Amino acid sequence: MNHPPDNILDRLIAEAQADDYALAQRNGPTTRGNPVIAVLLFGLIGVLLATAFWQRQSVLPAAELRRAELVERIEAQSERAEASQVQATELRASVSQLQQLALNGLGEDFGEQLRAVEIATGFVGLSGPGAVVTMDDAVPPLPRGVDPAESKVLDIDMQGAVNGLWQAGAQAIAIKGVRLTSVTAIRTAGEAILVDYRPLEPPYRIDAIGPSDLADRFSQSQAGDDLAQLGEDYGIQSEVSAADEVTVPASTANLPTRAEVVKGGGQ
């Protein structure tokens, strides 16, 4: 190390690169250190090198492993999807085969039975004679002593009307285009009435298919009286009318795809 360079960067580099051993020697006779410590330090450096190397090596496989795992899962799922697709195709084929059988081999009876089940479960859209019931929240002026909060159509009111319609002989009912099935709930969530978990807004139009005197039978039933009483007590508006042509759509409710018929307990 000669005269230190003037440039600060050069000086930095020169100092950083200074040969410690030469400098130590120049500062006086070198004192001997402990060679054991030096050897131990060499060993430590070796351990450091190996550790750093191994750590890198072990980090990479972890990522690789995860990737492989994901790939495996994707492949498994794809296989499952494919299998399901194949199964769906097979089932579809067997369904049409069975339908063909129903029409040919099993005769009229089975076809009719199938039809009845389809109607009862809301599997198909229907149209026919029946009744239309409309319900709506009260409009001011409200009857004396009625709170505005009480002047709304409640889920229980609608349930009453629907049950009355069933009782009066309705075969298929839809509320504002939502087909009612055995698993369709009518309930309140907050301010809205949910039918089949879909929020509906008033006015509520209930379409029911049934005998041509359905409207009359409903009006004369307990449910019809209750509906009229609701109008008197709370100002709930309602109207019941017969209709020559009522249409109800097929149900979009989830069919019980996980349920299976109990062996030997069907009928």
Query: Per-residue x/- mask for other proteins, residues 33 to 62, rule CB under 8 A?
Result: xxx-xxxxxxxxxxxxxxxxxxx--x----
* Residue with smaller CB distance to other proteins, 17 or 257: 17
Residues in 104-143 at the binding interface with other proteins, rule: CB under 8 A: none
Q: 24 or 185, CB closer to other proteins?
A: 24
Residue type, 261: V
Strand-pairing partners, residue 239, are 134
Q: How far apart are CA 228 and CA 74, in angstroms?
A: 60
Per CB under 8 A, the segment of 26-34, 146-154, 184-192, 244-252 that binds other proteins is: 26-34
Q: Which residue has the tokens 């360079």?
A: 5
Which listed residue (6, 8, 9, 20) binds other proteins by CB under 8 A?
Answer: 20
Of 27-35, 87-95, 176-184, 188-196: span binding other proteins (CB under 8 A): 27-35
- Separation between Cα atoms, residue 2 and residue 12, nearest integer Å: 14
Is residue 25 a contact point for other proteins (CB under 8 A)? Answer: yes
21 binds other proteins (CB under 8 A): yes
What's the count of helices (H) and strands (E) in the chain, helices before strands? Answer: 7, 8
CB of 53 to other proteins, least distance (A): 8
- 52 sits in which H/E element: helix 35-103
- Residues 134/260, Cβ–Cβ less than 8 Å: no
User: What is the footprint of other proteins within residues 58-87 (CB under 8 A)?
Assistant: 58
Q: What gap in Å lies between CA 167 and CA 127, rounded to an integer?
A: 19
Selection from 154, 120, 253 nearest residue 197 by Cα:
253
19 vs 90 by CB, closer to other proteins? 19
Please report, as ranges, the residues that interact with other proteins according to CB under 8 A: 13, 16-17, 19-22, 24-25, 30-35, 37-55, 58
